[in-house]
Structure 1
Amino acid sequence: MRPNLGICIGVALALSGCGADYLNNYDSVTLAAGDANRANTLAQTVDPFNPSSRNTHIEGNGQRIAGVVQRYRGVAPASGTVPNSGGDLDCAGGKGNNPVVPPNTPISGPDVNGLDRNHDGIGCNSR
């Protein structure tokens, strides 16, 4: 029984030496790869993360978001009102990036968004 055990151990040792070749091939830089400059750069990295990733304060426009939620819920905007927003407003159904103003909306005060192109006091009309 002892000779069989010795043969099994010998065969196992012979085969295990053949299977360890993949350990010498790495896809990344290692300390033993021979590229000392790159290995030192990896070892001396102070903060690898983008500093902007720490900014958790995300700006938003509450009135614009409220309009989006109301449109999603199917709540019609109050007639004759233009949302009071510092952002860019566009006519509903238009080519703008914020189409929230319904057609034929009365404009009071300065027309900062250019909704009343023909200067008749009515915004988003086709006249």
Structure 2
Amino acid sequence: MSRNKLLLVVLCTGLLTGCAADYLNNYDSVTLAAGDSQKFNSLLQTVDPYNPASNNTRIEGDGARGVAVIQKYRYPPAAPSGGNVTVNVGTPTSSTN
């Protein structure tokens, strides 16, 4: 087989597998959102769909706590300066039969 024919076969196979992937999904409807027309129509006719609390632009918070967090971020506490560090590795257990 020549190189051009092989390339044509590979290209056609690739195109057909792309079509088969959608066919093999086996959806019962045209789209995944089919069947939601009543919900869509009711939402479409909603007068004010936003939560009334969404107009509140004042963010509640404690200023002193926020300043403390920022200071801790800018100037992290110094690492403890200890000479020896002890790590608990546990005690070996002996099994007796």
Task: Tell me the TM-score normalised to structure 1 length.
Answer: 0.31
Structure number having the greater strand percentage: 1
Structure number having the greater helix percentage: 2
Answer with 1 or 2: which has the greater Rg. Answer: 1
Asked which structure has the greater RCO (Cα within 8 Å, sep 6+), the reply is 1
Task: Tell me the TM-score normalised to structure 2 length.
Answer: 0.38
